[in-house]
Amino acid sequence: MENQIINYSDNEKIIELCNFGMDIGEHSILKDISLDISFNDIVLLYGPRNSGKSSLLRSFVHLNEELYNDVKGKGGIFFEGNNVNELDRKYLRSQITYVDPTFVENLNILTLSEVINLSLGLKLKDISKEHFDILEKLGLSKKFSDLDNLKVHNSLKSWSIGEKILLITFISLARNPKVFMFDSILDHLDDFLLKDVKEILYDMKKDRTLIISTRNLNLFSDIANKIIFIENGQIQYNGTMDSFMMNFPR
């Protein structure tokens, strides 16, 4: 499974949900969700606070079960045709990466070397040319190139939120999964950093799938081709961005 290479064409399903639902204890969190996500899609998962965005994305990689007691799933979620319940979790999470704002908070207690080591299994001096190119595009290369100066930068506590988000974006890209999920994390970038990050994400979409969860439609409507609108744990709309903008005025 680990080294399996699958060649995709556009519009080929990579993730499929069939009547998926999730309860935590007595609470029904996600209700009867059926949808497909295709290879090469940039999908916006859009909805208000507490609508179920995080719960839904975490379901793709089996994370809710690790965070909460008494999680009960119904229906199925399939990655490349396989039920995610039956896939090895390490393998699943190497193929689909999930990052949320808690990752930014966790960076405060780690050093740059620890983060790179824990997330990528690399020492700072072993960062490859490909990685360095991504860092350059993200405007982070200076932090990595000046190894003498690294002691100053090593504590991530002193990095700005924007820099931490860029670092998390770098780690996600460097892990090279098939599906990236950014849960509300890019909403915190300023307009200028957001523009750079969006360009990078758009560039890499040709052989990846990207799912961005947000409460701010306008931030990403220019790069997304699909939108899933969720409210109260139910899908209200699932289709193209263009058709949503024309037919779903709020």
Ligand X SMILES: Nc1ncnc2c1ncn2[C@@H]1O[C@H](COP(=O)(O)OP(=O)(O)OP(=O)(O)O)[C@@H](O)[C@H]1O
- Catalog residues that contact ligand X under the rule CB under 6 A: 24, 27, 29, 47, 49-55, 68, 184, 215
Nearer to ligand X, 13 or 31 (CB): 31
Residue 39 or 52 having the CB closest to ligand X: 52
**CB count in 10 Å sphere of residue 84:** 20
Compare residues 21 and 143 and give the one whose CB is closer to ligand X. Answer: 21
Close Cβ partners of 248 (under 8 Å, ≥ 6 residues apart) = 229, 237
Report the sign of the C-alpha dihedral through residues 157, 126, 118, 83, in that order: positive
CB of 2 to ligand X, least distance (A): 31
CB 133 within 8 A of CB 173: no
CA distance 64 to 168: 21
Nearer to ligand X, 48 or 146 (CB): 48
In the complex, minimum distance from the CB of residue 223 to ligand X, in angstroms, rounded to a whole number: 20
Question: What residue ranges in 39-192 does DSSP mark as E strands?
Answer: 42-46, 71-79, 82-83, 96-99, 179-183
CB of 214 to ligand X, least distance (A): 8
Shortest Å distance, C-beta 163 to ligand X: 22
Which CB atom, from 141 or from 238, has the smaller least distance to ligand X? 238
Contact 241, 225 (CB under 8 A): yes
CA distances from 144 to 10, 76, 153 (A): 36, 42, 9
